[in-house]
Structure 1
Amino acid sequence: MLFEKLLRPALYRLNGNDAETVHERTVRLLSLLPADPPLLRGIYAEDDPATVFGLRFPNRVGLAAGMDKDGRALHAWPALGFGFVEVGTVTRLAQPGNPKPRLFTLAGNDAVINRMGFNNSGADALAARLAARGKPAVPLGISIGKSKVVPLDEAVEDYRYSLRTLYPHADYFAVNVSSPNTPGLRELQDRAALAELLGELRRTSAELAGDREPTPLLVKVAPDLTDSALAELLEVCDEHGVAGLIATNTTLSREGLTGQEAVLGKETGGLSGRPLTARAREVVGFVHRQTGGRLPVIGVGGILSGADARRMLDAGASLVQVYTGFALKGPGLVREINRTLGGWR
């Protein structure tokens, strides 16, 4: 409540109501904290271990991709209570992303619209940072995507480059084929394109792993897929030994926006937050039923309370991630979710 009532409004006033500036300065500030910050130790951290796709997580709440794209504040997130962290989406080539403004907060709807466009420093820069500073004290996922200037028919090699470059550092990889902000990217969710991409990434992963178990590959899906398209995607994932699914990315739908902020719904980009809550949970439930619970799912989308997270697990998710909820409500949300999920089975 303190964050929502006082700190967040103050941050926006100080930064001219520019959501991206608030985001950037928050990450920059967190990047200055030492590993295991003593002021935060024990305040937010919660333990409730779970083992999913062969990895042990200290708790079930993760930071979704997009918050810390370039891995600048990796050692701060565990101290805020996160049981795992996903960085990126990172691309082979460094890119500035789409023109500004490109991030819009709809606080009255507990929502955000973004059209960031995979702005990041590139796979090589992230690998160098991880080699120099090390990984966080919790599992690290790396979300990889297609560079904007790379044609779709060259996408496989683009993804493979990022996989090879970052392979020594990731505990799992999220294959992002579902962002609405890179032209044509969602076409990679189609059967033939996805089968080619996953086949090559699996082969590359096995080669890099050698005698070790390959690093788990997860696929991040859009909430806008029909049930038949999603069922087809799940068949491809099963054929290529995908370790899990991340459901879901942001949506192109504007259903659920209310009040004066509905005008902002005309902005292009992906919508996240409360309007996505029900649909994300529906997708998780569909995946769970379709696969008989065999495919682990990270549930993400519209989680703004401990109850939301609990319902996501009840729908079939094994883990949850937050982004918009964290941005709007602060670290207290992570603690609330951890306490709500404590001992969940």
Structure 2
Amino acid sequence: MYPLLFRVVLSRMDPESAHHAAMTVIRILGLPAFAWAARAIAKPDRSLETTALGLTFPSPFGVAAGFDKDVKGAQGLWALGFGHVEVGTLTAIPQDGNPRPRLFRLIPDRAVVNRMGFNNRGADAAAARLRPLRARDNRAVIGVNIGKSRVVDVADATADYVRSASLLAPLADYLVVNVSSPNTPGLRGLQAVETLRPLLDAVRAAAGATPLLVKIAPDLADDEVQGIARLAVDAGLAGIIATNTTISRAGLRTDPAVIDAAGEGGLSGAPLKARALEVLALVRAVVPPEFCVISAGGVETAADVQERMDAGATLVQGYTAFLYRGPLWARQINRGLKRSR
């Protein structure tokens, strides 16, 4: 049913408009009157429970940051069977992001190019949504992803991150420092070890007891990946998320004219699979066994999730395939994982 709906209707809609329409349905599914029914259909089997970051995840498979930027659909995504929901990226200062159009499908590659630019209503608004959510239902595992406000100079990035962390860490199950989006000028430069260390130290202090992770780009050189992984361990972080979107366009099957029309931005989806696995192996080779490594990029099926777990991932995240596989995607993956156990 969903493949037909996507082919006939959704693929012809502006991608961002289609996303907003989907989020409306997901928000409805998160209402108490509907959430119990959705969760009854999609709830992961108990055999999939995974312990990480001092938390119990009902499934190792969660939804990556970027889908629910403003904490509007977390309960609905949880009801659809995701083992955790990472909201954001959130910035201390509200921002509209880049001009539209800024989201593009590369359908032959089962991929997406985005240059959203951290569009969100800000950390204060997100905290206001998280507080009643936490008071009402603490079962959903919710991570919070924070980034640099666009209007803040890179030299002042630490204070900007600290403000978001101070507001959101007390309401998050875990907190993620995003220094790897290609859509905020200067942001990826913060991944340099000499710049990253003081930033992580300051945010970790602001986060208090909330587990802190850092999210890295797939475009780093191998030695840079391992350098950041070692730094994350040395700085006392709880984990690392590998990886964000890529600026590479290598090996795509989509018509070059369509790719050129999409322009700059981060590529996500199936083409990231090989590099995401490489980065996972690089990170796992230099961090302790108990260190949490969340693998993201190119995940589509239960077999993909299991492959990441076998390669050393503690947890796995997806996003882009949700657009292509529909609302029962998490349920399909959880059922596939159960069969493989």
Give me the TM-score of the superposition, normalised by structure 1.
0.92
Partner of residue 87, structure 2 = 87
| Residues 203 and 189 of structure 1: CA distance in aligned 2, closer, same or farther (over 3 Å) | same
The 3-state SS of whatever aligns with 1:303 is: coil
Assess if the C-alpha contact under 8 Å between 2:175 and 2:207 holds in 1.
no
- Of 159, 162, 165 in structure 2, the residue corresponding to residue 160 of structure 1 is 162
Partner of residue 210, structure 1 = none
Partner of residue 129, structure 1 = 129
Shift of 1:205: 2.4
User: Match for 1:229: what amino acid?
Assistant: E
| Residues 61 and 32 of structure 1: CA distance in aligned 2, closer, same or farther (over 3 Å) | same
Partner of residue 203, structure 2 = 201
Assess if the C-alpha contact under 8 Å between 1:306 and 1:333 holds in 2.
no
Assess if the C-alpha contact under 8 Å between 1:44 and 1:331 holds in 2.
no
Return the alpha-carbon distance in structure 1 between the equivalents of residues 226 and 36 of structure 2.
47
Partner of residue 293, structure 1 = 289
- Of 24, 27, 31 in structure 1, the residue corresponding to residue 27 of structure 2 is 31
Partner of residue 20, structure 1 = 16
Determine whether 1:106 maps to 2:102. Answer: no
> Deviations for 1:300-340, whole angstroms, at most 9, x for unmatched residues?
10111111111111111111111001111113321222123
The 3-state SS of whatever aligns with 2:200 is: helix
Shift of 1:344: 7.0
> Deviations for 1:44-69, whole angstroms, at most 9, x for unmatched residues?
21132110121111111101101010
The 3-state SS of whatever aligns with 2:185 is: coil
User: Match for 2:257: what amino acid?
Assistant: V
Return the alpha-carbon distance in structure 1 between the equivalents of residues 258 and 90 of structure 2.
27
Assess if the C-alpha contact under 8 Å between 1:74 and 1:136 holds in 2.
no
> Deviations for 1:4-31, whole angstroms, at most 9, x for unmatched residues?
2x22234426xx5200000011112221
Determine whether 1:52 maps to 2:48. Answer: no
Shift of 1:259: 3.9
Assess if the C-alpha contact under 8 Å between 2:75 and 2:140 holds in 1.
no
Partner of residue 183, structure 2 = 181
User: Match for 2:309: what amino acid?
Assistant: L
Return the alpha-carbon distance in structure 1 between the equivalents of residues 37 and 60 of structure 2.
23
Return the alpha-carbon distance in structure 2 between the equivalents of residues 269 and 338 of structure 1.
31
Assess if the C-alpha contact under 8 Å between 1:223 and 1:283 holds in 2.
yes
Partner of residue 3, structure 1 = 2
User: Match for 1:7: what amino acid?
Assistant: L
Return the alpha-carbon distance in structure 1 between the equivalents of residues 85 and 95 of structure 2.
22
Q: What is the CA RMSD across the aligned residues, in angstroms?
A: 1.7
Return the alpha-carbon distance in structure 1 between the equivalents of residues 313 and 252 of structure 2.
26
Assess if the C-alpha contact under 8 Å between 1:147 and 1:158 holds in 2.
yes
User: Paired residues, what number?
Assistant: 333
Return the alpha-carbon distance in structure 2 between the equivalents of residues 268 and 344 of structure 1.
39
| Residues 149 and 256 of structure 1: CA distance in aligned 2, closer, same or farther (over 3 Å) | same
The percentage of aligned residue pairs carrying the same residue is: 46
Assess if the C-alpha contact under 8 Å between 2:70 and 2:126 holds in 1.
yes
Assess if the C-alpha contact under 8 Å between 1:144 and 1:175 holds in 2.
yes
> Deviations for 1:260-291, whole angstroms, at most 9, x for unmatched residues?
2x333331000011110111111011111122
Return the alpha-carbon distance in structure 1 between the equivalents of residues 126 and 138 of structure 2.
14
Assess if the C-alpha contact under 8 Å between 2:44 and 2:331 holds in 1.
yes
Assess if the C-alpha contact under 8 Å between 2:215 and 2:242 holds in 1.
yes
